[in-house]
Structures are given as structure tokens and as C-alpha cells.
């Protein structure tokens, strides 16, 4: 049956016509995308009251409307490929427990849990609108369970390392580099810089962009007691200025890096960037993301990418000092713990970092006396 290009008059007309589009059955992604685009065009040509006469469909306006259309397109594509006879039924009667379960199973093979949850949410919204008097409680229950599953799987598995272990490796590695007289100046500078970056990243787990965007004299400032890390709103993802004290154990290594190793890395090139690679250039995000897991795998037996340091910090706080779990928000630079909480100010940021350092010191001391 050819795709009907006439102007639909009701929501049921729209959904019935969508089921006749042969492109939805195609194995080519381009064809299915074209079908979804036709879905969008049809709904735009439909009378406005089709999408506004039911309260649950008011959410289909704007971006949500586009998302529902795409989600329903995937449902129809699934039916066309697996149960074509269902397309002869009315849109509401196509939605059965068995078909939805099969749809979820297929989605789980190719999608993340969050995406599967979204598609079932789209289907539930459409079903509630086209058949508001039908009992869709089972579909809502399935949707709610998928939400819980997606939330449970949202966090990656904890890394087999703690803040204390990573920080201690950083300090030990820098000490070994300083004592190794056989290292050439450039090799010594690279290894020292790598260890310092890891020590700073685990104790002040900044996002990669802010961490690599630090400039001497602007983001890292010498004070009477050491160094302070200062970030403007444009430097941070949540657009909030933040200021942190450099951990006291990293004050001397940072000074050594700035005075001795960073000039070696620069090869005489002018740059205010804090982190310099072996070629005398500022370290790029891609370069850092390639280098970091190789270094941690070589020396700690685990490949840690930049964002992993943030997870390790949060996990260590939650595991070893759950009473201070609220500092995770400020340590990681998150805007809120929930929508009702206020942003932390500069003083809170420094206080939170001091608490994190106290946790690190406490773990190290307790293990040292065992």
C-alpha cells in the first residue's frame, strides 16, 4: 500500500498512515531516517488540534514532539520487521504486552538502557493519547521499571583504585624521578609532569577542558602559603567561578615543575600554558586522553581516562567518609545535588577540597599503622 500523502484529519489517521510506509521496513538506516522525516512532515501538515486536544500530547510540542515522532517511528519499524500483520490493527491494539517485551529485548541488543527507556516512554505517551480510556497501567509500570534500570546503570562500575592509592603513586613517582640520576633531562621532565598531573587531577578532579586550559599566573597563582587554582565562570561547565588551594603535598612539586621541568619541556618556546608536552607545545585534549591511560596502565595496572578520576574521587568520599558525601557536588563542580540546593560559594569550594585532602591523609595514615 503506498504511503498516503493526503492531509490527515485525526491522530488515528496519522498513526494509521505511518504504518503503511515501506521505508520503515528497510534495513538501510538512510531509508528509515527518511521515513521518520516523512512522519515529521505529516504531523506538521496535520490540523493543530490533533496534537493539542489530548493533555498528554501537549508535551509533543517543540523538541519533545520531535522525539515522540522518532520514537514511534522505531516502534513501527520494529513491527514491520517482526510482526507485519500487526500493522493491520488499530494503533492502540498493536500495543500488547508480548510485542512491547519483544521490542524491549531488541532495543537492549543495540541501545543503552537510557535509550530503551526513552522509546518505551514515547510509546506510553502516544498510547495514552490515542486511547485515553484504555488501561495502560502495565505499560506505565514497564516504563517506570526501565527508568529505575537506566538510573541504576547510569554510573560506571567503580574503579579498583582509591584517591589515596593514586595520590600516593603520584608522590612516590615524582620522588623517584628526582632521585634517578640516569634519566635525561627531557625524559625526567616528561615523567615528572605526568606524575604531577595525575596527583593534581586525583586531588582536584577538574574536567578535562578546565584542567588542560590552565595558564600560569591566571589559573595557577603563587601565594604566600603555596598555590591557588582560580577559575572564572567561562572556565567551568556550570558557569560558576571556583577557587581551590593546591594540596600542600603538591606545592613543592609544582614549584619544581615550574622552575625546572617546564622550561626543559618548552625548548625555549614562549607559552603561558601550564601543561607542556615533550615537543614544547601545550598538551591537547586528544593527546592527554591518549597519554593518560597508557601511563596509569604502565605504572598502576589500570587504564584511567581523565573522567575516571572524578568517579574515583566521588567513590572514595562516599565509601570512606559518607558523612561528607555532600562535598562531592563541589569537588566535581556540579551545579547542584538537587534542584532545591543553592550553589556553593568560593569558601565552600576551598573547604570541600580541604576535607577531601583530610580524607586522603586519613586513609594513608590509617593504612600506614596497620
pLDDT at position 218: 95
pLDDT at position 239: 85
Run of H or E including 235: none
Domain boundary among 153, 183, 211: 153
The answer to whether residues 27 and 136 belong to one domain is yes
The answer to whether residues 148 and 222 belong to one domain is no
pLDDT at position 349: 45
pLDDT at position 330: 55
Determine, yes or no, domain membership for 350.
yes
- What is the domain extent for residue 55? 11-153
Determine, yes or no, domain membership for 148.
yes
pLDDT at position 151: 73
Determine, yes or no, domain membership for 147.
yes
Determine, yes or no, domain membership for 2.
no
- Tabulate helix, strand, coil % of the chain (nearest 5): 65, 5, 30
Q: Does the global pTM surpass 0.85?
A: no
Determine, yes or no, domain membership for 314.
yes
pLDDT at position 196: 97
Q: DSSP 3-state assignment of 329?
A: helix
Mean pLDDT, the chain cut into blocks of 10 residues (370 residues total)? 42 48 47 51 46 42 64 89 89 92 90 88 87 91 86 60 87 94 95 95 88 95 93 87 90 97 96 96 93 91 86 65 48 42 34 54 56
Is-contact 244 228, C-beta < 8 A? yes
Nearest to 317 by CA among 345, 285, 356, 278: 356
245 - beta bridge partners? 228
pLDDT at position 68: 79
Determine, yes or no, domain membership for 3.
no
Domain boundary among 104, 120, 153: 153
Is-contact 317 162, C-beta < 8 A? no
Domain boundary among 135, 153, 171: 153
Amino acid at each position: 500500500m503506498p504511503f498516503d500523502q493526503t492531509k490527515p484529519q485525526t491522530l488515528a489517521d496519522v498513526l494509521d498512515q505511518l504504518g503503511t510506509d515501506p521505508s520503515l521496513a528497510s534495513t538501510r538506516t538512510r531509508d528509515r531516517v527518511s521515513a521518520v522525516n516523512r512522519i515529521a512532515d505529516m504531523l506538521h501538515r496535520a490540523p493543530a488540534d490533533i496534537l493539542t486536544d489530548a493533555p498528554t500530547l501537549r508535551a509533543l510540542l517543540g523538541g519533545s514532539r520531535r522525539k515522540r515522532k522518532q520514537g514511534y517511528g522505531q516502534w513501527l519499524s520494529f513491527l514491520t520487521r517482526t510482526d507485519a500483520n500487526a500493522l493491520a490493527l488499530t494503533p492502540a491494539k498493536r500495543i500488547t504486552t508480548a510485542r512491547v517485551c519483544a521490542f524491549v529485548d531488541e532495543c537492549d541488543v543495540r541501545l543503552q538502557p537510557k535509550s530503551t527507556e526513552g522509546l518505551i516512554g514515547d510509546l506510553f505517551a502516544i498510547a495514552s493519547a490515542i486511547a485515553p480510556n484504555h488501561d495502560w497501567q502495565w505499560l506505565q509500570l514497564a516504563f517506570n521499571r526501565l527508568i529505575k534500570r537506566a538510573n541504576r546503570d547510569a554510573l560506571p562500575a567503580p574503579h579498583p583504585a582509591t584517591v589515596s592509592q593514586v595520590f600516593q603513586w603520584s608522590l612516590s613517582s615524582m620522588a623517584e624521578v628526582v632521585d634517578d640520576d640516569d634519566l635525561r633531562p627531557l625524559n625526567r621532565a616528561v615523567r615528572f609532569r605526568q606524575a604531577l598531573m595525575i596527583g593534581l587531577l586525583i586531588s582536584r578532579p577538574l574536567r578535562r577542558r578546565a584542567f588542560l586550559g590552565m595558564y600560569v599566573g591566571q589559573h595557577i597563582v603563587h601565594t604566600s602559603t603555596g598555590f591557588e587554582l582560580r577559575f572564572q565562570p567561562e572556565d567551568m561547565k556550570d558557569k560558576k567561578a571556583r577557587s581551590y588551594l593546591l594540596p600542600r603535598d603538591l606545592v613543592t612539586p609544582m614549584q619544581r615543575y615550574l622552575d625546572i621541568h617546564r622550561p626543559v619541556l618548552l625548548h625555549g618556546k614562549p607559552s603561558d600554558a601550564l601543561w607542556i608536552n615533550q615537543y614544547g607545545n601545550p598538551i591537547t585534549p586528544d593527546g592527554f586522553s591518549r597519554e593518560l591511560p597508557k601511563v596509569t596502565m604502565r605504572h598502576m595496572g589500570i587504564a584511567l581516562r581523565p573522567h575516571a578520576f572524578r568517579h574515583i574521587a566521588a567513590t572514595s568520599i562516599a565509601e570512606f567518609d559518607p558523612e561528607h558525601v555532600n562535598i562531592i557536588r563541589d569537588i566535581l563542580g556540579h551545579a547542584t545535588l538537587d534542584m532545591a540546593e543553592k550553589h556553593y560559594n568560593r569558601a565552600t569550594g576551598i573547604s570541600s577540597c580541604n576535607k577531601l585532602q583530610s580524607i586522603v591523609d586519613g586513609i594513608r595514615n590509617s593504612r600506614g599503622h596497620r
